[in-house]
Amino acid sequence: MIRAFDAVSLPLLRWLDPEDAHRLAVQGLKLLPPARPRADDPKLAVRAFGLNFPNPIGMAAGFDKNGEVPDALLRLGFGFVEIGTVTPKPQGGNPRPRIFRLERDEAVINRLGFNGDGAESVLRRLAARAHFCGIVGVNVGANKDSADRNDDYVKLIETFAPVASYFTVNVSSPNTPGLRSLQQASALDDLLARVIDARERVRKNAGDSPILLKVAPDLSLAELDDVVHIARSRRADGMIVTNTTLGRPSTLREQHRAKETGGLSGRPLYRLSTRMVAETYVRAEGAFPLIGVGGIDSGGGALTKIRAGASLIQLYSALIYKGLGLVDEIKRDLSSTLLRTGRDQLSEIVGADAATITAEDWPVI
């Protein structure tokens, strides 16, 4: 079914405007039959943040912004799905065009700006699927015109705690002015303190809600020191490394399109995001697991991200170029690696190469 979907959809979607193609892809997933996914190799199961993931591959935030198709994605073989970014109030985001494909680089630039339906509409959709199984995280952010951005995050934690498998606190999007300043030490400490306090207030009625922090790849190592220290001291449950980059590698072939403002994702981000995973892993010292994101487009790329320190990984941009069949391809490659090396679980290789990666020259981007 997935191969047939890719064969039909990829040529059509690549012909369309990127944002129109994205909308059509979401609508197409709504039409997929409710087939049960093939059982995953038990060796691919991951225990992280107090949750049991059937496999380590997640759909990253940004694809299903409004919680329209999480169950369709789970049926296609993802081990988990992260929806959002969700903001308290609906907002239109930045003017179109705001998504740009860099075809020859297998990359994407977006400056969407947290466009979405708002918390009320998304909550209705997630509440309606509450009886379904599967891990569905909620990525939360602040409205552009918010008078108190910290309060936006707190309200979203309180609102979605009964229906979210976990939360991702997104302070790293480059497309909402001033948002990345929340990664600065004093601001981040205050934000995480309030978010964790909100989670504790609703825990009795809503159950446990792991809190993850998503960071930018453009942090300096000194800034990363502060971020990891605060995440550990405030007892965050994990981190997602990384969001899109403002950098523009000189090696990009689509140099004219690369001049568009926004966050760059896809293959050119891979080396930097992997380095940041390794740097975060050695600083976390096992205090919490990591989700690795950025440029993964093969089983080998996924394996390298795991060996850099990621317990789980997420995809998005590569699916535009490789299709949904990439999910099964990565799972097959990971299973083959475990079988060939005599390993019983992926956890046995998480972070195995972190020290080596952090000793390499800094990737140029």
Catalytic residues: 173
A 10 A CB-CB count for 322 gives: 18
Give the contacts of 239 (CB within 8 A, at least 6 positions apart). 212, 213, 214, 215, 227, 228, 231, 280, 284, 288, 290, 291
H/E element, 354: helix 354-358
Question: How far apart, in whole angstroms, are the C-alpha atoms of residue 35 and residue 109?
Answer: 33
Q: Residue 265 pairs with which residues in a beta bridge?
A: 108
Q: In this structure, what token pair is assigned to residue 280?
A: 């975060």
Strand, coil or helix: what is 341? Answer: helix
Question: How far apart, in whole angstroms, are the C-alpha atoms of residue 26 and residue 16?
Answer: 14
Question: How far apart, in whole angstroms, are the C-alpha atoms of residue 292 and residue 307?
Answer: 10
Q: Residue 211 pairs with which residues in a beta bridge?
A: 167
The string of DSSP codes covering 168-226 is EEE---TTSTTGGGGGSHHHHHHHHHHHHHHHHHHHHHH----EEEEE-TT--HHHHHH
HSE toward the beta carbon, residue 154, CA cutoff 13 A: 14
The string of DSSP codes covering 6-69 is HHHHHHHHHHS-HHHHHHHHHHHHHTS--PPPPPPPGGG-EEETTEEESSSEEEPTTSSTTSSS
Nearest one of 97, 106, 123, 129 to 18, comparing CA atoms? 97
